[in-house]
Amino acid sequence: MKKTIRLLALAIFIFTGSKLCAQEGKIILPGNTYIFEIKDGSNRTGRLDSTTAEYYFINNPAIGVDRISKRSVSKIKEIHLNKDGTFSNPHYSRYLFGPSALPQTKGELYWNNVSFEYNTFQYGVTKNLSMGVGGFLFTSLSGNLVLLPNVKYSFTINEKSHIAVGALIALFHSKSGGGTPSASLPFLVYTYGDSEANISGGLGWANVSDYGWAPKPTGYLAGLKRIARNWVFQGEGYLLNNTSTNTIYIATFRNIKPSSSWDFGIVSMHFEDFRLALPIIGYTLKF
């Protein structure tokens, strides 16, 4: 298990390091839109018109042509604007927890935290393949390790239709011993729409190391819609073993910025005679 942890930590380090190196040697191109993070903590956004030895010249939709001193810039991030001039939804390949079939951008790395406890790193390996690893922070620090690797491969049928296959995996290790049980959920998801508005439906079939395959598949329905410049509403529903007596529902409002987002919502769990509803908060940062 220690060897597994070291390998996962090394993978995260490599993904992060490669991303940082790419940023340091980034070539920025006229006609593309960028966020320029300034050393005083402010940001400037616009389409790059030209550069000189000392300045970037950008076209900002609100104030027109703007000049930025190269020495004042601490970081540059490329963003994509929609036809109406708004920035694109930065967190489109996944809802709060479940996946959409939209592919994650190649080379994109992001970190997601839910209610401080659940953390995930996701990386776009190719234009179709993304991989990640999640885990429960405080539970694992207490000695009860929980790791949740995942993988997704997306197929684009046309501009509005996408299909993805993949798997969620869970690895457990208790400090009291008793082996290292595991579980997996291979899944198939179809998504209709784009990063601004979509709906997804899918099926997964759970397998637990101590019990084998579940008697029925797990049903999945999710969707999101951008309702304002900085706000997205999204929801997810899970029918565990396709029965209405075992369900999980999640509804969140997502406040988005070009490279980050906050989620505020509620999760409702119903397992036979057990019912529980909890508020949730999440944060996602795209590196």
| Cβ density class 76-99: b for 16+ within 10 Å, e for less | ebebeeeeeebbebbbbbbbbbbb
> Regarding predicted confidence, which is higher, 21 or 228?
228
Query: Domain for residue 4, yes or no?
Result: no
Q: What is the rounded (10 degree) CA torsion for 246, 222, 218, 115?
A: -60
One domain for residues 65 and 104: no
Report the CATH number at residue 161. Answer: 2.40.160.40
- The Cα 43–Cα 68 span in angstroms is 11
Which two three-digit tokens encode residue 239?
């029918």
Query: Domain for residue 10, yes or no?
Result: no
Q: How many domains does the chain have?
A: 2
Query: Domain for residue 166, yes or no?
Result: yes
One domain for residues 57 and 94: no
One domain for residues 269 and 228: yes
Beta-bridge partner residues of 237: 221, 249
Instruction: Please identify, among 27, 51, 79, the residue that sits at the C-terminal boundary of a domain.
Output: 79
One domain for residues 181 and 280: yes
Average pLDDT for the chain: 83
Q: What is the pLDDT of residues 34-73, one digit of tens each?
A: 888 888 888 888 888 888 888 899 887 667 788 899 989 9
Instruction: Please identify, among 79, 98, 125, the residue that sits at the C-terminal boundary of a domain.
Output: 79
Q: At 232, is the secondary structure helix, strand, or coil?
A: strand
Report the CATH number at residue 46. Answer: 2.30.30.100
The per-residue pLDDT for 13 is: 41
Which two three-digit tokens encode residue 285?
């940062």
One domain for residues 28 and 153: no
- The Cα 201–Cα 192 span in angstroms is 9
Query: Domain for residue 267, yes or no?
Result: yes
One domain for residues 213 and 188: yes
Cβ–Cβ under 8 Å, residues 46 and 59: yes
One domain for residues 70 and 95: no
Q: What is the pLDDT of residues 250-276, one digit of tens each?
A: 999 999 987 889 999 999 999 877 889
Structural domain that includes position 99: 87-286
One domain for residues 73 and 93: no
Instruction: Please identify, among 54, 79, 104, the residue that sits at the C-terminal boundary of a domain.
Output: 79
- Our measurement of the distance from residue 36's CA atom to the centroid of its chain's CA atoms, rounded to an integer in Å, reads 23
Q: What is the pLDDT of residues 81-111, one digit of tens each?
A: 666 666 778 888 989 889 999 999 888 899 9
